[in-house]
Amino acid sequence: MEVVALGTGGPAATGRASSGFMVLLNGTPRLLVDAGGGTFARASEMRLPLSDLDLVLLTHLHIDHCADVPAFFKARGILHDGPYTFHVFGPEGAGQFPAVSQWLKLLFGKEGAFAYQPDFNDHETLLPSDLTRDLSKPPVTIYEEGPLQISAVATHHGDCPSVAYRIDYAGASVTFSGDLDASALPNLAKLAANTDLLIVNAVVLDPPDSPEILYTLHSPPAAIGQTARDAHAKRVLLSHIGPAIERNLPSVKASIARSYLGPVEMAQDKSRYTVSP
């Protein structure tokens, strides 16, 4: 299994594409984990083939995590010969945020913004799954296919429903935190137990060095370190990099290392990471 970082930034224009990863199984791109602005261009620059892409895991529906989904769908539609299916997973809705199933209808339904897309070339089928936002629920398997297993658990990201994902394939595993505040880290630790690679979004510094409001949305380095330790993660990759993290990486790593003794790396756009047991 290989993980390709398409976008390692957030919503700000910092030179990084927004959040998104591609997961390759036996060299073939199969899974897209978030698709923020710029991720489609990164996939194109890397010449990643999209003909077998059929699993989309959205941690939440903030723009910097899902803006390029239509571009990926369009590209596969142009290239594909014969009907095909996208399995799309994301959180159920709440407040201003639709469930992922409703979001897909708003984009690609009969009265959606891109209603033409599902039948533009060959017939495209979208199979959405709305995942619980109930933090009391344990991690659950949401997809299985041979040696591939995908699991998810609810997290907390302010008023935006959010989930974390774990991908297990042929004995190797990678876990994606998505955006989450510290209250949801126990759920992430359960999902990520003994994972080979834990990818954690890193936006804020330890209190009080970031704006207080951001701690209701994101987890600080010290808490990330404790979670990686509790999960017994083999290595940690920091992504969704905020400017404060970029400027203070040595102190961020030092804070994580007070609890977690494994390797910690900051992701870069277009970097590739082999995941093996």
Tens-digit pLDDT profile for residues 2-57: 999 999 999 999 999 999 999 999 999 999 999 999 999 999 999 999 999 999 99
Q: What is the mean predicted confidence (pLDDT) over 182-199?
A: 98
pLDDT digits (tens, 9 = 90+) for 200-241: 999 999 999 999 999 999 999 999 999 999 999 999 999 999
Q: Of 35-44, 75-84, 156-165, 213-222, which gets the smallest average pLDDT?
A: 75-84
Q: Look at residue 80 in the predicted model and tell me its pLDDT.
A: 67
DSSP letter assigned to residue 216? G
CB environment 157-186: b (16+ within 10 A), e (fewer): bbebbbbbbbbbbeebbbbbbbbbbbebbe
Contact 76, 30 (CB under 8 A): no
Continuous segment of H or E residues that includes residue 233: none
Q: CA 68 → CA 85, 107, 151, 157, 230, distances in Å?
A: 18, 12, 23, 21, 34
pLDDT band, residue 105 (cuts 50/70/90):
very high
What would the mean pLDDT of 61-83 be, rounded to a whole number?
Answer: 90
**DSSP of 116-183, one letter per residue?**
TGGGSSS-EEEEEEEEP--TTSPPEEEEEETTEEEEEEEEEETTEEEEEEEEEETTEEEEE--S--GG
User: How many of the other CB atoms lie within 10 Å of CB of 91?
Assistant: 27
- Report helix, strand or coil for 74: helix
pTM of the model: 0.96
Give the other-Cβ count within 10 Å of 145's Cβ. Answer: 13
| pLDDT recorded at residue 83 | 83
What is the per-residue pLDDT for 92? 97
Q: Which domain holds residue 98?
A: 2-274
User: Tokens for 115?
Assistant: 């209603």
> What total number of domains does the chain contain?
1
CATH of the domain at 153: 3.60.15.10
Under the banding of pLDDT at 50, 70 and 90, the label for residue 76 is confident
Q: Going by DSSP bridges, is the β-strand pair 172-176/160-169 parallel, antiparallel, or unpaired?
A: antiparallel
